[in-house]
Amino acid sequence: MGLSKLVNQYKADLFTEIPKIKSLMFDSLSIFNEGDDAVFEDAPGQAAIDSLELIRTLFRDLDKSLRVEILDKLDILVTGLKSKYSVFRYSSAKCFATVASIVPTVGFQTLVKQILPMLGNALELKERQGAIECIYHLCNVMGADILPYVVFLIVPVLGRMSDSNNDVRVLSTTTFAQIIKETSFNK
């Protein structure tokens, strides 16, 4: 039986009836709280990436009462965006983008309060990389639905187009072009 079928079958009781799914989603995310100096073995790192992918895959189908548990853990995703490991930043960005596209009222509050300030942090390259990657994936996932929120993104993304780091600069330019394309096609 596929995971989506289980989610639809158990609805709000999913985490109580099959606690292993909840464990697979959340337990390994504690790796992000170990600090930047921590060195990770392959297995715990892969488990964290798998958890983020599981959340990303199931979030849309989860009962609204279960979504709250994930929304309460958005701070962990933000911590993942600050990781020195690019694979954690990438997975956290993809996961956050999916969650924010489904529940934009909560997602964009986190984006504005926590992620956009990371984009302006000139002293921490990994924060700028994680933030712009998150915004890039959010624009990809939301498409034209991002239009009401563009006002929050234009100036910070435009500012990073002249970043000292080439990766941030290229991703900012691509993201900015994407935003402009969406705004011009949807007038």
Distance in angstroms (rounded) separating the CA atoms of residues 162 and 171: 11
Examine the pLDDT at 35 and tell me if it is beyond 90. no
Distance in angstroms (rounded) separating the CA atoms of residues 93 and 132: 9
Listed range (17-21, 57-61, 182-186) with the worst mean pLDDT: 182-186
Domains, in order of start, for the chain: 3-185 (1.25.10.10)
Mean pLDDT rounded to a whole number for the chain: 94
Examine the pLDDT at 125 and tell me if it is beyond 60. yes
Examine the pLDDT at 169 and tell me if it is beyond 60. yes
With b for 16 or more beta-carbon neighbours within 10 A and e for fewer, the 13-36 pattern comes to ebbeebeebeebbbebbebbeeee
Mean pLDDT, residues 74-100? 96
For residue 19, what pLDDT is reported? 96
Which tens digit of pLDDT belongs to each residue from 103-120?
999 999 999 999 999 999
